[in-house]
Amino acid sequence: QPANQPTEQSNTSTNTLNHTLIIMSNNNNEDSSGGKKGDPTVTASGIDNTVESRESSLAGILKGKGVKEESLVQAIVALGEATARIAVHLADYVDHAYAGSQNASGDDQLQLDIQCDEAVFRAVRESGGVYATVASEETPQETKVSDTGIYSLGCDPLDGSSIIDANFSVGSIFGIWPGTKLVGRTGREQLASAVALYGPRTVLCIALADPSTVFEVTLVRDRSLWEVSRDRIQIKPAGKVFAPGNLRATNDHPQYQRLIQHWMAERYQLRYSGGMVPDVYHILAKSKGIFTNVSSTSAKAKLRLLYEVAPMGLIIECAGGEAIFESEDKSVLDITIEHTDHRVGVCFGGTDEVKKFKEFIFEQKSIH
C-alpha cells in the first residue's frame, strides 16, 4: 500500500532550517536602499540584463494561447524567470558540495538544491505580488510571500538532484492553484502547471486548464527570449515505450512484476533515467509511452502529490493522456492533498497503455 504518512518528527528541525535559509537569503539580499541584490552567479551571467525580453516574449505567447487574466500571465512568466535562473546555476555547477542539511525526504541536500529553491522564491517575490503562498520540496511549509497575492505555488525546484552528478537531464516542476492555501486542495483545482527540462536545451512545458492545452517553449538567443517549440502536445493512446520507476517494489508486488515482464515480452523500449522529469518528458516529446512508480510494502511511495504528481498529472491529462493513482482507478487530480509530504504511487501515459496497467495491477490483484 502507498505510504502517505507525514514525515518523521526528526525531520522537523531540518525543515525549519531549510525554511530559515530561504528567509535569511532574502533578508540578506537587500542593498542599502532596500532594493534586491542580484544573485552573484546570476548577475555574472548577464541574464538580468534580458529580463524584459524574456518576460515580454513569454507573456505574448501566453496571451496568444488564450490566457486572459493578466495576473495568471504574470504568475506563469515568473516561472519562466525561475527556470532561466536555475539554468544558469546548473550550467555553473562545478562544486558538488553538500549543504550540511537534509530535505523532508531525509536526502542530503546539495548546495545546488538550495540555490534552485532560492531562485524560485526570488522570481515569485519579483512577480508583482500575484503569489500569496509557496511550498517547495526544499521549503515544505506553506510560506507566505505576499499580502496581495491571489495564487499559491507548489513546486519541486530541482527534480533529479540524485542523478545530476552524472550530468543527466534534470528538471523543475510547478503547479499554480487559485487562493492562498495548498493543503486540502486537489490537483483538479490547478489553473496551470509547468515542467522545465534542463538538457542540451532549456525547455518549459506549460499546461493550461482553461482552455485545456499543453505546449512547449524553448529558451533561446543566449537565454534572452522564449520561443514556441511545440505548439500543441498530444499523447497517443498507444506506444511501446516504458519508464518503470521503483523497481524494488517488484520483489513483493507480483502484479507489478508481471506487468514489467509483459512489457519486456512485447518488446517495449526502455526509456528510464531515474529522474521523473526527463522520463515523463520523453512521453510528451515522443507523444507516446507510459511511466509508472508503484509502491509495495517494502518499497514505499516516494513521489509527492503537491510538488510533483498533481502538476505533472495536469500536464498529462491536458495532453490527452491519463494520470491515475496506483491502487485504484482514480485520477491523481482528484486526490486531496492531506499534507505537504503526502506521497502516492502513480501511472502516467497514453490511454491504451494505462488501460493495460489497470488490467495487470487492478484486475489481476482481485484474482490473487
Residues 6+ apart with CB under 8 A from 97: 110, 111
Q: What gap in Å lies between CA 308 and CA 199, rounded to an integer?
A: 19
How far CA 270 is from CA of 239, 266, 283, 284, in Å, comes to: 12, 12, 12, 15
Q: What is the CATH number of the domain that holds 109?
A: 3.30.540.10
Q: Is residue 49 in some structural domain? A: no
Q: Which of 203, 230, 257 is the last residue of a domain?
A: 230
What is the structure's pLDDT at 35? 35
Q: Are residues 265 and 337 in the same domain?
A: yes
Q: Which of 230, 259, 276 is the last residue of a domain?
A: 230
Q: Are residues 214 and 328 in the same domain?
A: no
How far CA 286 is from CA of 86, 118, 289, in Å, comes to: 25, 32, 8
Residue 322, all three cell numbers: 491519463
Q: Are residues 267 and 308 in the same domain?
A: yes
- pLDDT (tens digit, 9 = 90+) per residue, 148-172? 999 999 999 999 988 999 999 999 9
Q: How many domains would you assign to the chain?
A: 2
Q: Are residues 190 and 101 in the same domain?
A: yes
Q: Are residues 253 and 276 in the same domain?
A: yes
- pLDDT (tens digit, 9 = 90+) per residue, 343-358? 999 999 999 999 999 9
Q: Are residues 76 and 125 in the same domain?
A: yes
- pLDDT (tens digit, 9 = 90+) per residue, 44-54? 889 999 999 99
Q: Which of 207, 230, 253 is the last residue of a domain?
A: 230
Full domain range(s) for residue 327: 241-363
Q: Are residues 210 and 126 in the same domain?
A: yes
Strands 269-270 and 290-293, how do they pair? unpaired
Whether 22 shows a pLDDT value over 80: the answer reads no
Q: Are residues 121 and 153 in the same domain?
A: yes
- Average pLDDT of the chain to the nearest whole number: 89
Q: What is the CATH number of the domain that holds 323?
A: 3.40.190.80
Whether 245 shows a pLDDT value over 50: the answer reads yes
Q: Is residue 43 in some structural domain? A: no
What is the structure's pLDDT at 39? 78
What is the structure's pLDDT at 129? 97
Q: What pTM was computed for the model?
A: 0.89
Q: Is residue 201 in some structural domain? A: yes
**How far separated are the first and last CA of the chain, in Å rounded?**
16
